[in-house]
Amino acid sequence: MTALWSKLRRDLWHGRGQALAIAVVVACAVATSAGSVATARALNRSRDLYYARANMPDVFADATRVPAPVAARLAAIPGVAELESRTTGDGRVSWPGGSARVRVSSVSAGGGRLGTLRLRSGRLPGRGEAAISEGFAEAAGLHPGDRLSLVVNGRLQPINISGVALSPEFVYALPPGGLFPDDRHFGLLWMAPKDAEAALDMQGAFDEVVFKLVPGASAADVIGAVDPVLLPFGGEGAYGLDRLVSNRFLSDEITQLDNMATVLPAIFLGVAAFLVSVTLSRLIASQRMQIGTLRALGYGSNAIGLHYGSYAAAIALAGALAGLGLGYAFGAYMSRMYMEFYRFPVLDYRADPRAMASATALALLAALVGAAGSVRRAVRLAPAEAMRPPAPGRFKPTLLERTGLARALLSLPSRMSLRGLARRPVRAALGTLGIASSVAVLVAGAFFGDAMDFMLRLALEDALRADATVTFIHPVSHAALDELARLPGVRAVEPVREEPAILRAGPRSRRVALTGMPPGAELSRVVGEDGRPVPIPASGMVISARLAQLLGVRPGDRIRVELLDGRRAVGELPLAATVNDVLGLSATTSLESLRRLAQLGNVVTGANLSVEPASRDALQRALDDRPSVAAVAWRSVTITAFRKTVAESLLAFSGMLVGFAVAIAGGVVYSAVRSSFSERSRELATLRVIGFTRREVWRVLVGEVALQLVLALPLGALLGLGLAALTTHAFQSDLYRIPLVIDRSTWVFALGVTAGATLATSLVALRWIRRLDLAEALRSGD
Amino acid sequence: MSGARVFLVRGLSKTYRMGEVEVTALRGVDLEIAEGELVVVLGPSGSGKSTLLNVLGGLDTPSAGEVRWRDEELSHADDATLTRFRRDHVGFVFQFYNLVPSLTARENVALAAEIARDPMTPEEALGLVDLSARLDHFPSQLSGGEQQRVAIARAVVKRPDVLLCDEPTGALDIATGRRVLSALAGVNRELGTTAVIITHNAAIAAMADRVLHVHDGGIARVQRNERRAVPEELAW
């Protein structure tokens, strides 16, 4: 058998172009599969390890102000193993060179018993000190020993940075109301309990408590017991780890990676199987005589089957090997990218032998499935028949040509192409599907950018039109708005009142921020996916369609509203309309109806401002000086941060997809043209002899591919649309809904890259045609 | 020699590299062919006759010597010039027909007609080879002789100045072979097309004006027939 192995080696070398095309596609499949799985497992492992080491709480609860002794009652709740109370609040820090919003929190000795801080540098804060979060420290260029000016509750105090730390509860650190981590403008700041209580005016009280449950205890039961205890103290409703924002983003990301580890490799392997089938069937057709000779020499079916099966397996293995290396690097790269957003102490990324083995096995399986048909034909070829040259292929006019019109319009080369495709409809259809999948991969990948842009436009241009949004530390009277209006550069002011609330409809409930806005507000509006503003009813609510679905309510239904502030006012509001918005779960009513519900005077919690661009800095300084202002969010800053974050990760992602799509289109087209060239080299030589130029012969050769491309582009667009729709459906959550928005530029990009890759690949054929030995091609009958 | 000289060959040599071996196919051939002449090149396989035909037809270039088509030098012409030469002046007929299997008889002929300057219609050309009844048949639906006659029609449809035929009857039985030769002779006679037929079949020599006996890369002997036999008289 060593002679056959030598033949295999030389056959592979001889057909290295096609072998390479297949290997590249297999490599893409294995790389995406092994890489995504390794990354998903790395995130999973790192999270579990981190949560375990940091003693991650199981249940979280916030309240307004809970006297310290209440903690003992909470600790007595059955199922609670351990609890820790904290004091938290909003603040602002500034340092020479910058300023940012911070979330201030107390941290007990040793970094806390639950959700323990992990020090990255320096030490835990002593009196007069604070630790800050790592992402913020890096973005702001702050180090232990640096000095900050901290403003909390309108009081300024100097503070030293003692250390830089990570919290498992903020692996993904979203600023309040933010869409994306924004380390440049938002950070976490931890202080010793006494300092935090003093700064936040919370001596002898806490406003956040986290619980570790005994093994086997039900989180729902504990939540049910915690809520009544905290209710009198402004309890906002406890929730489990599954509802912790940081944890949810992380879980969604892992799910997304798992999807990626399935969908893309499946497409690649399908294409690879097809390429193997085309290549092998061509090889076997051209080696009929050799197969006959082997048979005549006494080689059996098994030996011949093994020989050609090994051809496919060798290519798949080579591709898989390259893919494993590529996948490792790809996973490492993605993991590094995730580390920008998800702050783990250690990202435990390593090669995943199980994922590697299963990806390789799948690649091998796909290649063998692709090879099966051709190998079966080779094995069944009778020796005597194999020694005869094959009869001329049977052709007939296509259905299209039998209508006289098409016949009159089609040139001879197009008829050749059309009949060539019609003669092998399955191969033609699969080839078309292969090229189409390249378009689909591009569309499904690139539309993310369009969708993000759309979400950004909707949320930060159509809905929020204020240049700046001011949040007050405590609710203030309406009169505060007049003061804001007098500040430099302020063109218009609109009040906002936001109250944490639980909406209930029958047995279903959801915790949301209920927003009160003046009817006819211009600076902030409720806008649906269609871009049209939904008017705010005088009494009644407009809520996200997603929220309505979760609550099982329809316009006209009445919804019970429990405000979670200290008074715990309860009332009912009718649902006036739902809105197909894209971010979060929103519930909006008029200021007046919220005032009636809260039974508390004419107060606001924030304001939207329209600002003269030139007066921005002056206004910022003026607001910084006002003790009642907790934070100012500039729309332009949010937009820039969003674009920067999204653009960076999307650019890398779409670059990768272009590579994949080019590999698919290139592989399919190369394989198709190469096979066609081998099968038709005699015909092409004849055309050259008759007087066709190289260019004309090239056109005849790539005609079939061109026809397939023409069919593949619209088909691919359709598949892409489907794949994108599937993606948006898979990623629907309370946090965001990705709209199915595909810009024209994305279509042009997807179709252009595929057509370009097809054209570029088919140009290679010009070289083969130049090298075509006319005399040699015509000499023999075979 | 009846008409004006169309081919002038002087000192033509052709050496191939076959793997690591040098093969001399032609050594110093001198030859002239006149317009309207029917020349049969006779020789055993490996004598160099196919190489001679390929060089005359612009499929191959000589290693040494000179080949002229009328006033045009072919010996050192580039691919574009040779392609144009073939397109405008030469009709080829091969032993294995070389029809495009995905095109009907009519379309195979049209393939050549569409790129020619002053072609006849494909129907006319197929009529010349007596195939008017098989216009819309695909190669797989035609017998070997019919396929070869389609190939001849494809060669003559452009009204070429010269027909170059490489073993046109090599794959056919006697009766079919005669019909094919008769079609070739008819074209030569009626259209005045110069024809060069390569064969190892000595019986075919009788239908030529001139017979070139090729041996070992050179023209060993030239035989001039006083009378051209009609193909129907040939037997082998």
Cβ A778–B98 below 8 Å, yes or no?
Answer: yes
Number of Cβ atoms within 10 Å of the Cβ of A67: 10
- The answer to whether A191 and A63 have CB atoms below 8 angstroms apart is no
Cβ A691–B84 below 8 Å, yes or no?
Answer: yes
One domain, residues A658 and A772:
yes
What's the maximum distance between 2 C-alpha atoms anywhere in chain A? Answer: 103
Q: Which residues of A touch B (CB under 8 A)?
A: 391-397, 411-412, 415-416, 419-420, 423, 682-683, 685-694, 696, 774-775, 778-781
Determine the Cα–Cα distance for residues A239 and A245; give it in Å rounded to an integer. 11
Backbone angles phi, psi at A584, to 5 degrees: 60, -170
**What string of H, E and C letters represents the secondary structure of A331-358?**
HHHHHHHHHHHCCCCCCCCCCCHHHHHH
The answer, as to whether pTM is greater than 0.80, is no
- The answer to whether A405 and A685 have CB atoms below 8 angstroms apart is no
pLDDT score at B1: 47
pLDDT score at B60: 86
> Which CATH number is B97's domain given?
3.40.50.300
Six token digits for residue A704: 């079939």
| Domain carrying residue A152 | 88-201
Cβ A393–B102 below 8 Å, yes or no?
Answer: yes
* A87: alpha, beta or left? (left if phi > 0; alpha if psi -120 to 50): beta
* Pair type for strands A533-534 and A526-527: antiparallel
In tens, the pLDDT along A160-175 reads: 999 999 999 999 888 7
pLDDT score at B220: 93
Q: Calculate how close chain B gets to A695, using CA atoms only, in Å.
A: 11
Cβ B103–A415 below 8 Å, yes or no?
Answer: yes
One domain, residues A500 and A448:
no
Residues of chain B positioned with their CB less than 8 A from the CB of A775: 50-51, 54, 59-60
User: Cα dist. A709→A87, A751, B114, B183 in Å?
Assistant: 64, 10, 26, 43
Q: Does residue A746 sit within a domain?
A: yes
Residues of chain B positioned with their CB less than 8 A from the CB of A416: 100, 102-103
Residues of chain A positioned with their CB less than 8 A from the CB of B51: 775
- The answer to whether A103 and A188 have CB atoms below 8 angstroms apart is yes
pLDDT score at A782: 40
Residue written as tokens 């996948």?
A: A327
Nearest by CB: A689 against B59, B102, B139: B59
One domain, residues A500 and A605:
yes
Evaluate whether ipTM surpasses 0.85: no
Query: 3-class SS at A190?
Result: strand
One domain, residues A599 and A688:
no
Determine the Cα–Cα distance for residues A128 and A157; give it in Å rounded to an integer. 9
Say yes or no: B236 contacts chain A, CB-CB below 8 A.
no
Determine the Cα–Cα distance for residues A712 and A714; give it in Å rounded to an integer. 6
Rg for chain B, CA atoms, rounded: 17
Determine the Cα–Cα distance for residues B231 and B207; give it in Å rounded to an integer. 6
One domain, residues A642 and A761:
yes
Residue written as tokens 């006033």?
A: B71
Q: Does residue A253 sit within a domain?
A: no
Residue A119 CB-half CA count within 13 A = 17
Residue ranges, chain B, pLDDT below 70: 1-2
| Domain carrying residue B133 | 5-233
Nearest by CB: B103 against A416, A423, A689: A416
Q: Which residue does chain A place closest to B52, by CA atoms?
A: A775
Residues of chain A positioned with their CB less than 8 A from the CB of B83: 688, 691-694
Task: Report how far Cα A184 is from the mean position of its chain's Cα atoms.
Answer: 22
- The answer to whether B9 and B29 have CB atoms below 8 angstroms apart is yes
One domain, residues A782 and A641:
yes
Six token digits for residue A575: 């649902």
Q: Does residue A334 sit within a domain?
A: no
Q: Which residue does chain A place closest to B88, by CA atoms?
A: A691
Say yes or no: B60 contacts chain A, CB-CB below 8 A.
yes
Q: Which amino acid is at A293?
A: T
Which of A422, A424, A416 is CA-nearest to residue A684? A416
Cβ B103–A412 below 8 Å, yes or no?
Answer: yes
pLDDT score at B2: 56
Query: 3-class SS at A535?
Result: coil
In tens, the pLDDT along B18-66 reads: 777 888 999 999 999 999 999 999 999 888 898 999 899 988 889 999 9
Q: Calculate how close chain A gets to B227, using CA atoms only, in Å.
A: 32
Nearest by CB: B140 against A393, A411, A778: A393
Residues of chain A positioned with their CB less than 8 A from the CB of B104: 397
Residue written as tokens 């600790």?
A: A75
One domain, residues A655 and A772:
yes
Say yes or no: B87 contacts chain A, CB-CB below 8 A.
yes
Domain boundary among A185, A201, A217: A201
pLDDT score at B173: 86
Nearest by CB: A691 against B86, B104, B110: B86
Dihedral sign for Cα atoms in the order A289, A295, A301, A307: negative
**What string of H, E and C letters represents the secondary structure of A583-624?**
ECCCEEEEHHHHHHHHCCCCEEEEEEEEECHHHHHHHHHHHH
Which of A261, A284, A442 is CA-nearest to residue A370? A284
Cβ A420–B102 below 8 Å, yes or no?
Answer: yes
In tens, the pLDDT along B117-127 reads: 889 999 999 99
Cβ A412–B114 below 8 Å, yes or no?
Answer: yes
| A·B CB contacts under 8 A | 93
One domain, residues A503 and A457:
no
Cβ A392–B140 below 8 Å, yes or no?
Answer: yes
Nearest by CB: A781 against B51, B96, B116: B96
Mutate to test the interface with A, among B16, B18, B90, B100 (most CBs of A within 10 A): B100
Q: Calculate how close chain A gets to B210, using CA atoms only, in Å.
A: 25
In the stretch 111-140 of chain B, residues with CB closer than 8 A to chain A read: 111-112, 114-116, 138-140
Residue ranges, chain A, pLDDT below 50: 781-782
Cβ A689–B92 below 8 Å, yes or no?
Answer: yes
Determine the Cα–Cα distance for residues B93 and B155; give it in Å rounded to an integer. 7
Q: Does residue A116 sit within a domain?
A: yes
Q: How many domains does chain B have?
A: 1
Q: Does residue A724 sit within a domain?
A: yes
Say yes or no: B175 contacts chain A, CB-CB below 8 A.
no
Residues of chain B positioned with their CB less than 8 A from the CB of A396: 138
Mean pLDDT (chain A) is: 87
Q: How many domains does chain A have?
A: 3
* Pair type for strands A80-86 and A205-213: antiparallel
Cβ A686–B98 below 8 Å, yes or no?
Answer: yes
pLDDT score at A426: 84
Determine the Cα–Cα distance for residues B41 and B55; give it in Å rounded to an integer. 14
One domain, residues A454 and A505:
no
Cβ A394–B98 below 8 Å, yes or no?
Answer: no
Domain boundary among A158, A174, A201: A201
Residues of chain A positioned with their CB less than 8 A from the CB of B94: 686, 778
Long-range contacts of A350-354 (CB under 8 A, 24+ apart): A350/A38, A350/A42, A351/A38, A352/A34, A352/A37, A352/A38, A352/A41
Which of A69, A64, A80 is CA-nearest to residue A208? A64
